[in-house]
Structure 1
Amino acid sequence: MSVKYEELFELVRPALESKVFEFRLYNYDSVTDVDVWHYCINKKWRKRDILEMRVSEMVNDILETSPAQYMTHTQIEDFRTSNWFSDINKDDLQELLKPNSKASKTEIVFAKSSES
């Protein structure tokens, strides 16, 4: 965070901590004030100049964030950024995606015999 963002973070920290407390009431124990801050920057305020926003607007946006909104956003971001095949090397991936010619011939024979 830049110096200005850190100053804004400190100004709205009580609202962030209140939101984290609310999340804990819903058993979202791993959410931190920094997580909520990043959510607001990346989702709620992504099209706005944060340095020009009023503190009251920021506090309002933080307090009106629901746990469902936050969790939906984090799940979508996880899907968007995760590499599902990172544990598989390129050869294994090619082997998995390679068409199985025997199976397709068997399916054709089975399909022809069941039509008769």
Structure 2
Amino acid sequence: MAQQFEKLYVHMLPAIDSKKNEFHLYGYPTVTSEAIWTYCVQKKWRKKDILLMRMHEMAHDILHVSSAEFMTYTQIEEQRSSNWFSDINSEELRMLLTSVK
């Protein structure tokens, strides 16, 4: 299945790159083509059968991604994946989470 998504990604690359360039123009220089594709697959099309979508539907969806919805998604995903306690060891974490009497 991932190989089929890769083929779709290559076909949609002109639309994805256009959207990436638009985001760069709006002041989001770190946005990548892969991040836009991941957003569409995981968020925009999560309830759709991507392999049955038509190319013009995919291009339309990609070109109509707003910077606000994309940035909200990336911020939420970053918060979900970050480990807030990665800098402390297990003993420090235990002490932090135990109640003080």
TM-score, normalised with respect to structure 1: 0.80
TM-score, normalised with respect to structure 2: 0.92
| Equivalent residue number for residue 53 of structure 1 | 53
What is the CA-CA distance between 1:81 and the residue it aligns to?
1.8
Aligned residues with identical type, % of pairs:
51
Q: CA RMSD in A?
A: 1.4
| Equivalent residue number for residue 104 of structure 1 | none
Structural mapping, 1:55-70, within 5 Å: 55-70=55-70
What is the CA-CA distance between 1:21 and the residue it aligns to?
0.5
Partners of 2:40 and 2:15 in 1: how far apart?
Answer: 12
Taking structure 1 as reference, are residues 4 and 99 closer, same or farther at Cα in structure 2, changes over 3 Å only?
A: closer
Partners of 2:37 and 2:51 in 1: how far apart?
Answer: 14
Pick the structure with greater CA Rg.
1
| Equivalent residue number for residue 17 of structure 1 | 17
Q: Could you say which structure has the greater relative contact order, defined with CA pairs below 8 angstroms and 6 or more residues apart?
A: 2
Structural mapping, 1:1-116, within 5 Å: 2-101=2-101
Letter in 2 for 1:19: K
Unaligned runs of 5+ in 1: 102-116
What is the CA-CA distance between 1:2 and the residue it aligns to?
2.4
